[in-house]
Amino acid sequence: MIDVNIIKKDFPIFNNSEFVYLDSGATSQKPKVVLDRVISYYENDNANPFRGAYNLSIKSTEDYNNARDRVAKFINAKHNEEIIFTKNATESLNLIANTYGIDNLNSGDEVVLSIMEHHSNIVPWQRVCKLKNAKLNYFYINENFEIDEKEIETKITEKTKIVGIVSVSNVLGTINNIDKIIEKTHSVGAIVIVDISQSIAHQKFDVQKTNADFVVFSGHKMLGPFGIGVLYAKKEILENMSPFLMGGDMIEFVYEQETTFASLPNKFEAGTQNVGGAVGLSTAIDYLENIGYEEIQKHEKELITYAYEKLSNLPYIKIYASKNLENVSSVLSFNIDGIHPHDIASFLDASNICIRAGNHCAQPLMRYIGIDSTCRISFAIYNTKDDIDKLIFAIEKIYAKFEKFINKNK
């Protein structure tokens, strides 16, 4: 059983100030081991990797390659060169759209995304579909904020070439039926991109077991540093893809008019690599696995159930989540009758409670639900029921203060 009070001590930011952090879906806090590992890299091993013949550069290269091996093992990739380091999930998704998408889509083809995708998995496809005269379709959600199986069966057709799906919605917390979507996509000969940005700090993902073709995530949402992201793709797919960014270290030979490219994974990693970020991510993975995903899930399930119950008890709150909490991960969105989410977030900040308010980079989803923004709380391993009690207490205070104005304006 997890002792959160001990875990919390691993995170310097909680020792340095008193606050309730309920915005881990935006970015997680970082344990000291991760911070120490990044500092230790810069203090002891820092040199440009892959380029120097001297020992320090070789050490830096080793650090980077070891981090890649660690990520490969973490998601059970068959080959370590199937792991491409990027800046974040956004860059990984842009890479796929601008290489695989442009190379493989033709006029009349279809790309299917879910309406709950983050903008980073929508906007690149809008551009590429326009360029290639392909059609963009969406899986819509039911009144329980879930994608029905029927929607999967009917939207994926013989015309579908690419399907993009988020494992967990960053707004609704809905856990999508990835297995079903992958199975149906493969049955029509198309490929699947799974965006695991919101699930990887909470649930393991096995790329071989799921048979996903592309997988993306950001290090900073899973206790790692900013500036490091991952793109996984099956080796045979990556080998046939054009490179994305051009420049140093992704080449084999450069002539005045032509270039041949390096083999995997370097072909997709142009420019000086983020070694500090990669080693930090590797340590974050160690940290999460040392706690154990089963324990993490057990703890976070308790939190989400507790928060859902407490928020549901307030009659002026509307929650946007499945009633089947088995299908909800560590995110909850809600609105308070008569008070704008931005105001709620500012009032909560006055009580040192950090939540997110806005459209959460998911405007098509907001429009589909018929709202323009929500308050969003999101949990990580260091949150407690006490955090939720403080949130509820603060919300009750805010509502009590504004109730008379709200009812007057109705």
Ligand X SMILES: Cc1ncc(COP(=O)(O)O)c(C=O)c1O
Per CB under 6 A, residues contacting ligand X are 88-90, 118, 120, 166, 170, 195, 197-198, 218
Least distance CB 79 / ligand X (angstroms): 24
Between CA 115 and CA 110 the distance in angstroms is 15
Least distance CB 90 / ligand X (angstroms): 3
Q: What's the one-letter identity of residue 215?
A: V
CA distances from 49 to 60, 178, 273, 378, 409 (A): 5, 37, 7, 36, 62
Q: Which two tokens stand for residue 34?
A: 């991760």
Cβ atoms < 10 Å from Cβ of 112: 27
∠ CA 64-66-69, nearest 5°, is: 115
Question: Are the C-beta atoms of 56 and 47 separated by less than 8 Å?
Answer: yes
- Which residue, 145 or 399, has its beta carbon nearer to ligand X? 145
Least distance CB 107 / ligand X (angstroms): 29
- Which residue, 89 or 134, has its beta carbon nearer to ligand X? 89
3-state class (DSSP) for residue 12 = helix
- Which residue, 90 or 333, has its beta carbon nearer to ligand X? 90
Between CA 151 and CA 48 the distance in angstroms is 49
Question: H helices within 17-113, ranges in order?
Answer: 32-40, 55-74, 89-96, 102-104
Give strand pairing partners of 135: 110
Q: Supply φ then ψ for residue 64, to 5 degrees.
A: -65, -45
3-state class (DSSP) for residue 91 = helix
Q: Which two tokens stand for residue 138?
A: 């969406």
Cβ atoms < 10 Å from Cβ of 292: 12
Q: Is 361 part of the annotated catalytic residue set?
A: yes
- Which residue, 128 or 395, has its beta carbon nearer to ligand X? 128
Between CA 255 and CA 257 the distance in angstroms is 6
Least distance CB 370 / ligand X (angstroms): 21
Query: Which one from 129, 354, 361, 375 is the annotated catalytic residue?
Result: 361
- Which residue, 140 or 226, has its beta carbon nearer to ligand X? 226
- Which residue, 218 or 335, has its beta carbon nearer to ligand X? 218
Least distance CB 116 / ligand X (angstroms): 9
Active site members:
361
